[in-house]
């Protein structure tokens, strides 16, 4: 069958429309797909959250400073271990960081109704009662910030350099237990990594396997 020029023109137009539609669908899917979790050696993903005082907090606010991110859940035995009195392990790290002008962000990604989910008032009461000293407690009940970093456990620790590079991702220390007595036996990966960053050296142990309770997304 011989097609007229009009038929050929219509066919070409339909093919172009199909191709454009397919391309738009592919582009839309790509834009909708979640970004890969943060990776050591790359720039840390930017985020904006709300802290326990109702203030907006962005990672970009702390450009030029070292930042520690601590995923936490006050009901988790592994978190309780590091906040226990004594030895006040997490509190000591937070206060030492603050003294060195390091920004410490505690992040709560527990969904509403799950273990560790707290109101802003409860979060502040916990900070006071435990003698904790984070710069901010960020309430991430949607889990968006946690997923952005790929946070798996409480605690799960990250360190970002003043230039914005993620240089540590993993456990707080080398003994994955909920026993307070094990803190003294463990190598503290976070304090070691902060010492390396402060000395201008590459972090000797940039990635470890985090341990604790699963983040309650």
**Residue partners of 16: CB distance under 8 A and separation at least 6:** none
State the pLDDT at residue 87: 97
Average pLDDT over residues 41-49: 98
Mean pLDDT score, 43-56 = 98
Q: Supply the pLDDT for residue 115.
A: 98
**Contact status, residue 78 vs residue 212, Cβ threshold 8 Å:** yes
Least-confidence region, from 22-31, 114-123, 160-169: 22-31
Task: Work out the pLDDT band at 37, boundaries 50, 70, 90.
Answer: confident
Ordered DSSP codes for 69-134: EEE--TT-HHHHHHH-TTT-HHHHHHHHHHHTT-EEEEEE-PPTTSTT---HHHHHHHHHHHT---
Report the pLDDT value the prediction gives residue 29, as an integer from 0 to 100: 28
Q: What is the pTM of this model?
A: 0.84
Average pLDDT over residues 176-184: 98
pLDDT confidence bin for 12, thresholds 50/70/90: very low
The Cβ of residue 33 has, within 10 Å, a number of other Cβ atoms equal to 8
Residues 6+ apart with CB under 8 A from 157: 68, 69, 70, 71, 168, 169, 170, 171, 172, 189, 190, 210
CA-based nearest residue to 90, from 169, 191, 174, 214:
191
Helices 89-99 and 189-198, interaxial angle, to 10°?
10
User: Is residue 113 over pLDDT 70?
Assistant: yes
Contact assessment for residue 171 and residue 81, using Cβ atoms and an 8 Å cutoff: no
| Homologous superfamily of 48-214 | Glutaredoxin (3.40.30.10)
What does the mean pLDDT of the chain come to? Answer: 88
pLDDT of residue 126: 98
Task: Please list the residues that pair with 207 across neighbouring strands.
Answer: 169
Query: Percentage of residues in the chain with pLDDT exceeding 90?
Result: 82
């Amino acid at each position: 069958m011989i097609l007229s020029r009009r038929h050929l023109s219509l066919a070409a137009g339909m093919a172009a429309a199909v191709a454009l539609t397919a391309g738009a669908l592919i582009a839309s899917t790509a834009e909708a797909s979640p970004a890969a979790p943060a990776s050591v050696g790359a720039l840390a993903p930017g985020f904006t959250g709300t802290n326990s005082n109702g203030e907006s907090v962005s990672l970009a606010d702390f450009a030029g400073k070292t930042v520690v991110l601590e995923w936490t859940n006050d009901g988790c035995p592994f978190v309780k271990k590091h906040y226990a009195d004594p030895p006040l392990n997490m509190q000591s790290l937070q206060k030492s960081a603050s003294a060195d002008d390091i920004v410490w962000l505690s992040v709560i990604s527990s969904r509403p109704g799950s273990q560790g989910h707290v109101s802003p008032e409860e979060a502040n009461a916990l900070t006071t009662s435990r003698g904790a000293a984070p710069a901010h407690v960020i309430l991430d009940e949607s889990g968006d910030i946690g997923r952005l970093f790929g946070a798996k456990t409480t605690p799960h620790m990250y360190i970002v350099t003043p230039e914005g590079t993620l240089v540590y991702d993993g456990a707080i220390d080398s003994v994955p237990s909920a026993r307070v007595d094990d803190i003294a036996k463990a190598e503290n990966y976070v304090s070691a990594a902060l010492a390396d960053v402060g000395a201008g050296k590459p972090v000797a142990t940039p990635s470890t396997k985090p341990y604790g309770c699963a983040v309650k997304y």
